């Protein structure tokens, strides 16, 4: 059974666009997905990236156009400039980490629910009530938003260090069986073909 280490940020629109296709690919290949939310703002300066607000205006403008196109291609509702972006990604990331450890729910549904709350529903995913609603909807105990803070904070920091060491430089980023790397929601077809043995 292949294993996919899934590095992402809960405030990444491209991670939101990847969600349903990643699930379909994982299910088709019987792959185990290890979700690893990380601090994308902390990742960029350590891996040669530029934070969104510091990018050239032409790059920022193109990003908005590209997001609109990619949302249409994916068939997902997407607000390219949502009301609560940027926001603090840590609380939602801690909840995902705590939920994965606790089990009992659908972890990929939780990740997608939090991303959709930001990018489709324009909610603030740094707020407890938003996070708890996402936990409950994905079949997890909403109290994990409170009880998992310490464990979540430690793992969140560890995920960033692991990501840098593994060669991750953006989100979403997929590593199959610890070696084969794919960056971006637009490389999911390549991930699928690799798992089929065609790449």
Say what the pLDDT of residue 101 is. 93
Per-residue confidence (pLDDT) for residue 150, from 0 to 100: 80
pLDDT confidence of residue 134:
98
Tell me 125's DSSP state.
Answer: T
Look at residues 164, 149, 124, 123 and name the one whose alpha carbon lies nearest to residue 40. Answer: 164
Which residue, chain included where needed, has tokens 């991930």? 191
H or E segment at 35? strand 32-37
| 18-48 burial code (b ≥16 CB/10 A, e <16) | bbeebbebbeebebebebbbbbbbbbbeeee
pLDDT at residue 149 in the model: 79
Q: How far apart are CA 140 and CA 100, in angstroms?
A: 9
Examine the pLDDT at 155 and tell me if it is beyond 80: yes
**Mean pLDDT in residue range 142-159:** 90
pTM reported for the whole predicted model:
0.95
Q: By the 8 A CB rule, do 183 and 173 touch?
A: yes
Q: Over range 23-29, report the average pLDDT.
A: 97
Digit-coded pLDDT (tens) for 39-90? 999 999 999 898 888 899 999 999 999 999 999 999 999 999 999 999 999 9
The DSSP 8-state label assigned to residue 11 in this structure reads T
Contact between residue 13 and residue 78 where contact means Cβ atoms under 8 Å apart: yes
Asked if residues 125 and 118 have their Cβ atoms less than 8 Å apart, the reply is yes
What's the mean pLDDT in 110-136?
Answer: 98
CB environment 57-68: b (16+ within 10 A), e (fewer): eeeeeeeeeebe
Question: Residue 28: what are its φ and ψ, rounded to 5°?
Answer: -65, -30
């Amino acid at each position: 059974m292949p294993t996919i280490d899934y590095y992402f940020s809960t405030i990444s629109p491209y991670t939101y666009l990847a969600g349903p296709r990643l699930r379909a690919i994982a299910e088709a290949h019987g792959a185990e997905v290890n979700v690893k939310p990380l601090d994308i703002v902390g990742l960029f300066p350590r891996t040669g990236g530029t934070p969104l607000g510091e990018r050239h205006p032409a790059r920022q403008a193109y990003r908005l156009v590209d997001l609109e196109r990619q949302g249409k291609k994916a068939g997902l509702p997407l607000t390219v400039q949502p009301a609560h972006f940027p926001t603090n990604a840590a609380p939602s990331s801690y909840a995902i980490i705590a939920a994965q450890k606790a089990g009992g729910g659908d972890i990929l549904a939780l990740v997608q629910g939090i991303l959709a709350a930001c990018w489709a529903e324009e909610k603030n995913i740094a707020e407890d009530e938003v996070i708890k609603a996402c936990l409950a909807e994905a079949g997890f105990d909403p109290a994990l938003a409170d009880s998992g803070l310490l464990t979540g904070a430690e793992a969140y920091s560890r995920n960033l260090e692991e990501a840098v060491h593994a060669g991750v430089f953006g989100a979403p980023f997929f590593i199959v069986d610890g070696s084969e790397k794919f960056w971006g929601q637009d490389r999911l077809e390549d991930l699928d073909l690799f798992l089929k043995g065609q790449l």
